Amino acid sequence: MKPIYIDYLNALDIEALAMSDAEIIGAVEAGLVAQGKGQTVIEPRVHLEPDPSFHGHFNVLRGYVAPLDAAGVKVVGDYVDNYLHGLPSEFGILNLFDPRTGTPRAILDATVITDVRTGAVTAIGAKHLAKKSSKVLGHIGARGTAYWNVRLLDHLFDFDEIRVHSRRPESRDAFAAKLAADLGKPVMAVADWKSCVEGADIVVEASRLPEPQPLLKTEWVKRGALVVPYGTMSAVELSLTEIMQKIVVDDWGQCKGGKFGSLRAHVETGRLSEATLHAELGQIAAGLKAGRQSDGETILFWHRGLSLSDIALGKAMLAKAADKGIGQRLRFA
């Protein structure tokens, strides 16, 4: 057998790549288009919860993207109390394989990949589902994915007003300060959910609740807004889906099952079903179904996170790393 090597990118390597906003969005959207065209295999995520007292769990995401000639498995830990230890809430590893032989090809730190690709899916959803004239963003949550939500959304919309809120004042103030410095514009840290959500053109709910609690009130949502809730635990009212003209998800297969997710109660009570679902985002990105058709439509986009987004962004990072001579090669066999 000839030698087998694995390409390895650690967190420092990925930082050195300095992927641009356009590169990130382009890579992730290519994966979504492949999904929309039926060129992917996505297995619903599975969870490992070692002990409820640890206040965390592992997500295992699996997928195959034919145009990229890659299969991948990502394992990511999601622990809500990690901030108490000075750690990010999520750590992840992405493994890429040859889909024909199963040969390992690459290992990448997926902590940043998870944050970045989540923000990219939020932004791509808004690209197709928000009003082109959207100028006010309300964002709940300040975890890792939140930064990339705001940064990539602002890349597309160049907001006049950005409001952010999270439970801990020190967290939201630091988050607003970092965004303001990086985006070169004011970012307001607001003290409550209503001030953040009311009147916003795009609302993103990425909260870190220990248990479901309807903190985002349906009555605050502006007509014509895009609402993107994706917290692990639901923070929305059951009535939210009743005001929507369109409901879009990233993958219905994984949205309809499992114990976690912001619209879990809506699925269990039949408010969100195959009959009430408008489309998967990949179908819209591929041009097979309509996105927003008028400024008056109020639209909801729920994404759980797709293995194919990790794979697509991981492949793009590996290509740039090869071009720049970044990363390491590890002997496997």
As a whole number of Å, the end-to-end CA separation of the chain is 9
Identify which of 191, 259, 265, 269 has the alpha carbon closest to the alpha carbon of residue 235. Answer: 265
One DSSP character per residue, 85-153 reads: GT--SEEEEEEEE-TTT--EEEEEE-HHHHHHHHHHHHHHHHHHHS-TT--EEEEE--SHHHHHHHHHH
CA atoms within 13 A on the CB side of 239: 8
If 0-12 CB within 10 Å is exposed, 13-18 middle and 19+ buried, where does residue 2 land?
Answer: exposed
Give me the count of residues in the chain.
333
Identify which of 171, 210, 259, 234 has the alpha carbon closest to the alpha carbon of residue 54. Answer: 210
pLDDT at 80 over 90: no
pLDDT in tens, 195-204: 999 999 999 9
Highest mean pLDDT out of 163-172, 206-215, 256-265: 163-172
Q: Are strands 90-97 and 104-109 parallel, antiparallel or unpaired?
A: antiparallel
In the sheet with 161-165, reading across from the earlier edge strand, the strands are 188-189, 161-165, 136-140, 202-205, 226-229, 299-302, 246-249, 279-280
What is the average per-residue pLDDT within 221-250?
91
Residue 252: pLDDT band by 50, 70, 90 thresholds? confident
pTM exceeding 0.85: yes
CA atoms within 13 A on the CB side of 154: 22
291 near 128, Cβ under 8 Å?
yes
**DSSP category for residue 176:** H
92 near 110, Cβ under 8 Å?
yes
What is the average per-residue pLDDT within 163-184?
95
